[in-house]
Structure 1
Amino acid sequence: MTDIWAVLPVKELEGAKQRLSPRLSPAQRQALMRVMIGEVLATLVAARGLAGVLVVTLDPWASAEARRLGARVVTDGARDGHTGSVTAAARLLAAEGRGGLLTMPGDIPATTPAEIEALLAAHGPAPAFTIAPAHDLLGSNAVLMSPPLAVPLRFGEDSYYPHLDAARAQGIEPRIVPLPGIAMDIDHPADLDAFARLPQAEGTSSLAWLREHGIA
């Protein structure tokens, strides 16, 4: 299995993470999002087995950070939401003849290169679909598929089981790989506390930021 590209969609950070507004100010939400995206990007760049990292964004900071870490930046689909961004990237990779894609969000800062490598190791020969669910078994926090357009994707609060069904509808039996760092997305106020209790969060810049600001 070769030529798998990571796809990280990053929407413009102004107004990010509004569901965290009971605990964080707008400036704090934007600052935390930058810390988390930076950690996820660095993890993807460090993981062995990926051919490259592609960031779909129009955000100036995210574009600069991606380029600083050696990632490729594209803008097609960046205003079309999470699903639109990933689908546009999948079409681009397919047109370039790439082997597959791994996509994950920017709000899972406890993930590690070892988790990415575990997903790659679990992935089978094409056509194949491997998924790591969110901790609530509702979200699809990492999706790995080959070829890049093997399964139509539709992200949202309740996408995990629909993605399993979508893979099976294409004749592909999905491989499910639960991973604690990937599972822990930070989207709701309660997630801040759950993240702070996660052993894997220790040593992350995101947890250090939350503690520094008295949030965790």
Structure 2
Amino acid sequence: MDKIYAIIPVSKFSNAKTRLSPFLELKERENLLTAMLKDVTKTLKPIVDEVVIISADKEVLEYANQLEVLTLVENEVLNLNTAIEQAMDWCRHETEKVFIVPSDIPLISKANIDALIESAKVLDFIIAPSKGGGTNGLIIKPLAIDMKFGNFSFKNHVKEANNNGFDPIIYDSFYMSLDVNTTEDLGEIMIHGSGSETQSYLKSLKIEVESVHGAERLKVKKLN
């Protein structure tokens, strides 16, 4: 198989994880995103041929340069799908397949990527769902389908695959399904993210987690 490039779209750091705003301050959320992005790129870089971060945010692109990955300036702000399509259009001259990955799945592991890359040698459409019905990994030929990121993108991407003659293969992994949006997600990082930059940062904020038996499985708190 020819080269495979990973594409990571990243929004403005200042817009980072607003659903966590009752729990984390703006700067803490920005630092959380940089930690997660570092974890994702660190895991990807030794395995894929190139990592490409696309963003309209100058701060994101400057940080991506520190991570020593390729960068693309997004043409249109606040449109995730067009940003990914722009990156794929650039990548199609360089690689046979792309691996689209969000920036907020810090539990992604070498084992996950190895399995996906190995499968991509013989499969043309591999998709990893998120726990909320989204898409946390997509391996395709560049521009093979229209991007449908947004509400319940997993089923929409599967539908796109079927409409375009592909047989979508589902890669179901707890570690890849966990994108960070809620305080309970932070608790999962505290439990499962040993050795990650993200867990280390959360520990620096004195975040603790305990198991509960109620409406929520985990109780996450930040000590003063």
Say yes or no: TM over 0.5. Answer: yes
Match of 1:103 in 2: 100
| Unaligned residue ranges in structure 2 (runs of 5+) | 209-224
Alpha-carbon distance between aligned partners in 2 of 1:19 and 1:65, rounded to the nearest angstrom: 23
Larger radius of gyration: 2
- SS of match in other structure, 1:43: helix
Alpha-carbon distance between aligned partners in 1 of 2:172 and 2:75, rounded to the nearest angstrom: 29
Match of 1:88 in 2: 86
User: Residue 116 of structure 2 is aligned with which of 105, 119, 139?
Assistant: 119
Alpha-carbon distance between aligned partners in 1 of 2:178 and 2:191, rounded to the nearest angstrom: 11
Offset at 1:97?
A: 5.2
The reply on whether 1:38 has 2:38 as its aligned counterpart is: yes
CA shift in 2, pair 1:106/1:152, >3 Å: same
- SS of match in other structure, 2:53: strand
Q: Which 4+ runs in 1 deviate beyond 4 A? A: none
Offset at 1:149?
A: 1.0
RMSD of aligned C-alpha atoms? 1.8
Offset at 1:21?
A: 0.9
Offset at 1:78?
A: 5.6
Alpha-carbon distance between aligned partners in 2 of 1:169 and 1:151, rounded to the nearest angstrom: 9
Offset at 1:52?
A: 1.0
Match of 1:74 in 2: 72
| Unaligned residue ranges in structure 1 (runs of 5+) | none
Offset at 1:83?
A: 1.4
Alpha-carbon distance between aligned partners in 2 of 1:113 and 1:84, rounded to the nearest angstrom: 28
- Structure 1 length as normaliser, TM-score? 0.89
Letter in 2 for 1:11: S
User: Residue 177 of structure 2 is aligned with which of 170, 173, 183?
Assistant: 183
Alpha-carbon distance between aligned partners in 1 of 2:31 and 2:107, rounded to the nearest angstrom: 17
- SS of match in other structure, 1:92: helix
- SS of match in other structure, 2:125: strand
Offset at 1:183?
A: 1.1
Offset at 1:26?
A: 0.9
User: Between Structure 1 and Structure 2, how many residues are aligned?
Assistant: 208
CA contact (8 A) 1:44 1:113 kept: yes
Alignment identity in percent? 26
- Structure 2 length as normaliser, TM-score? 0.86
Listed one character per residue, the Cα deviations across residues 143-195 of structure 1 (whole Å, up to 9, x for unaligned) are 1102x011211112311111111101111011111122211110122221233
Alpha-carbon distance between aligned partners in 1 of 2:148 and 2:75, rounded to the nearest angstrom: 14
CA contact (8 A) 1:10 1:57 kept: yes
CA contact (8 A) 2:64 2:71 kept: yes
The reply on whether 1:164 has 2:161 as its aligned counterpart is: no
Listed one character per residue, the Cα deviations across residues 112-159 of structure 1 (whole Å, up to 9, x for unaligned) are 222112111122547x110111123x010011102x011211112311
